[in-house]
Amino acid sequence: MSETTMPPTENDFDRTAPAVPPSPPPAWYPQPKPRKPLWKRLLIIGAVLIIIFLVMGVISNAVQSKIGRLTSDGLDVKVLKPGSDDQVVAVYEVFGVINSKQAGRVKAFCDMVSDDPNVKAVVLRVVSPGGGISACDDIHKMVTDLKSDGKKIVVSMGAVAASGGYYISAPADAIYAEPTTVTGSIGVLSAWIVIKGTLEKYGAKAVVVRSTKTRAWKAAMNPFEDPADYQIESIRKLLDVMQERFEKVVRDGRGKKLKTTTAEKTYTNAKGKKFAITETIPFNGNIFTAAEALESGLIDKVGYLDDAIDQAATLAGLSKPKVLKYTIRKGLLEQLTAAKAGPLIDTNVLDEIQTPKLMMIWKIEP
């Protein structure tokens, strides 16, 4: 008879023996990945930035395609008012101090609209205190050339359209100024900085040597010497010539609309000395409100940009005017780098110090 193996019962276990827990699994720690060399990391960052710029450019162009178009000359064209494609009123703004760069931008606009037979009228929005004589004169010629091409020109003045800002406005078929516009300041000036004696405080000295035959005039009005009386008088004669041209531009532009008044006036200068002068208003360099400018014939009406646009369409005989605004569009990279830190010494400041300027500008200080 074989033995039968019975399963263990509860009594077979020794309950007094301590329980042995299972061994925990071995701890696992991730091994650090080796760092890429610095040049590889910089390369990756640069690639990512380039991709971001490209994507932003695509998005910018996509948005731009919805609101306007970019011309081959870098001008952004935006529709302000829909209308007939062959009855265009082109709007362009001259903003800030007028210099050669500003004149170049205006030229790009004028070249485009002068060759476009669909552009029948131009509204020049002027918000400027003026600037360099040559730059203002260049823009003035561009405006007169547009008139010669058969375009009707209307000026809409903003907060300030004085001195050179008025110079470029004078040829327009009609001039509008807002109720708060400051205009006038029909005059020219020359300004430079004299720092004589300043360098000596720091142990430096400026030496100016002239050739014998030119010592009366060469390096005149430099910042390291006080100007002689005859040098000041020479500059004043030059400014008087420019003043006569300014007045002729205004007279030719405004014609019979202009009203002038000549009178003997007495003024007191900063030193308390009185002086008398025969002056002709509005050619005395003073500024005027819109109401005063209207009274003297410097402007045609007090109104806003929309009023000027309506007038331009009326003068051009447009029944369904399409209003397009032209602006200089900055590229994406130019916008991103616009706030970059400048050099320790600004070359523009050095140029301002060393070079006397002949200006058509209205400002508080030279």
Catalytic positions are 163, 218
Task: Enumerate the β-bridge partners of residue 176.
Answer: 156, 301
**Token match 């007495």: residue?**
266
Instruction: For residue 160, give the nearest of 249, 76, 93 by alpha carbon.
Output: 93
User: Is the Cβ–Cβ distance between 159 and 124 less than 8 Å?
Assistant: no
Rounded to whole angstroms, what are the CA distances from 254 to 78, 225, 258, 294?
Answer: 31, 43, 6, 12
Residue type, 113: V
The helix (H) or strand (E) run that includes residue 104 is helix 100-114
User: Is the Cβ–Cβ distance between 119 and 325 less than 8 Å?
Assistant: no
SS3 per residue for 195-237: CCCCHHHHCCCCCCCCCHHHCCCCCCCCCCCCCCHHHHHHHHH
Token reading at 227: 């100007």
Please give the DSSP secondary-structure letter assigned to residue 251: H
Token reading at 210: 């002239």
Q: Going by C-beta distance under 8 Å and a sequence separation of 6 or more, which residues neighbour residue 302?
A: 176, 177, 178, 179, 290, 291, 294
Count Cβ neighbours within 10 Å for each residue of 219-239 and write b for 16 or more, e otherwise.
ebbbbbeebeeeeeebbeeeb
**Token match 């004169």: residue?**
137
Q: Going by C-beta distance under 8 Å and a sequence separation of 6 or more, which residues neighbour residue 216?
A: 230
Token reading at 297: 């014939």
